[in-house]
Amino acid sequence: RPDTIALLKQLKSGIYRFPGGNFVSNHDWRDAIGDPDRRPPRWDYAWNVMQPNDVGTDEFMVLCGLLDVEPYITVNAGFGEPRAAADWVEYANGAADTPMGKLRAQNGHPEPFDCTYWAVGNEMYGNWQKGHMPLEDYVKKHQAVAEAMRSVDDSIKLVAVGSVGPWSERMMQDCAEHMDLISEHFYVRERHMPDGTPEDVALHVSLTRDRVREVANAHRDYRSRFESLKGKDIRIALDEWNYWYGP
């Protein structure tokens, strides 16, 4: 679709995330490689639709190349296991003589994709997320996944799951050695006056500005309080946000 590619180029985006979102927590990247016409369809339990697997790692990387954007892959830290995440790193970045690199070459891409940015899971703090677990258990899961991924390629940049409040605080205290950035997601809803009428447009737009400030200030506070962050520069990856309308 050259018309679509032309439109996407006009956005001049710096980075694209894949697959991202709640979908990733029951996604097996190995289902979405090879001949698209021979890939097994899978039920997407996050959104209750059939996923044909027409788009996988190879197609995503080709798209990023066409658009000259940085690829950013989110691994399955829900139902997924550390070994699967590590194999995905090797498939993307390994030499053609590694097991997963050989598989990539067989699929038509002998040269490594050299993907730098990798997110360890998506919104694992939410009970809507497949594989959700208590925070005290998830910090161990994050560490195990991160260690497995870095054992394959220690040059990658890992983005941990954050959520301002107890979740981000614990992640920053227990997992600072196993991340380079930490993600924060937010959605803001329109507010209404006491009589039920919406506030004006300027006040509505300010919701996002105010939330960005709140997130940044929270992380400044973490840096000042947590010994685990001394000497570190863990930045925020604000990789999902929007306005939310209605209930």
- pLDDT tens for 160-170 read 999 999 999 99
94 secondary structure, DSSP code = S
pLDDT at 243 over 70: yes
Q: Quick one: 232 exposed, middle or buried, by C-beta within 10 A (0-12, 13-18, 19+)?
A: middle
Of the candidates 59, 81, 190, 240, the residue annotated as catalytic is 240
User: What confidence score (pLDDT) does residue 115 get?
Assistant: 98
Of the candidates 90, 123, 169, 184, the residue annotated as catalytic is 123
User: What confidence score (pLDDT) does residue 195 get?
Assistant: 73
- 22-35: pLDDT as tens digits: 999 999 999 999 99
Confidence of residue 72 (pLDDT cuts 50, 70, 90): very high
User: What confidence score (pLDDT) does residue 190 get?
Assistant: 74
Residue 239: which of 179, 190, 181, 194 has the closest Cα? 181
Q: Judge whether 112 and 89 are in contact, CB under 8 Å.
A: no
H or E stretch covering 101:
helix 99-106
CA separation for the pair 106, 202 (Å, rounded):
54
156 secondary structure, DSSP code = P
User: What confidence score (pLDDT) does residue 193 get?
Assistant: 67
- 128-154: pLDDT as tens digits: 999 999 999 999 999 999 999 999 999
Q: Which residues of 30-41 are buried (b: 16+ CB within 10 A; e: fewer)?
A: bebbbeeeebee
pLDDT at 247 over 70: no
Q: Which residues of 181-190 are buried (b: 16+ CB within 10 A; e: fewer)?
A: bbbbbbebee
Higher pLDDT, 98 or 205: 98
Instruction: Decide if 136 is catalytic.
Output: no
Percent of the chain at pLDDT above 90? 89
List 95's β-bridge partners, or say none. none
Instruction: Decide if 240 is catalytic.
Output: yes
> Helix and strand tally (H, E) in the chain?
7, 8
CA separation for the pair 116, 14 (Å, rounded):
13
User: What confidence score (pLDDT) does residue 158 get?
Assistant: 98
CA separation for the pair 143, 122 (Å, rounded):
15
- 186-226: pLDDT as tens digits: 999 876 667 777 677 788 888 999 999 999 999 999 999 99
Pairing relationship of beta strands 117-120 and 157-161 according to DSSP bridges: parallel
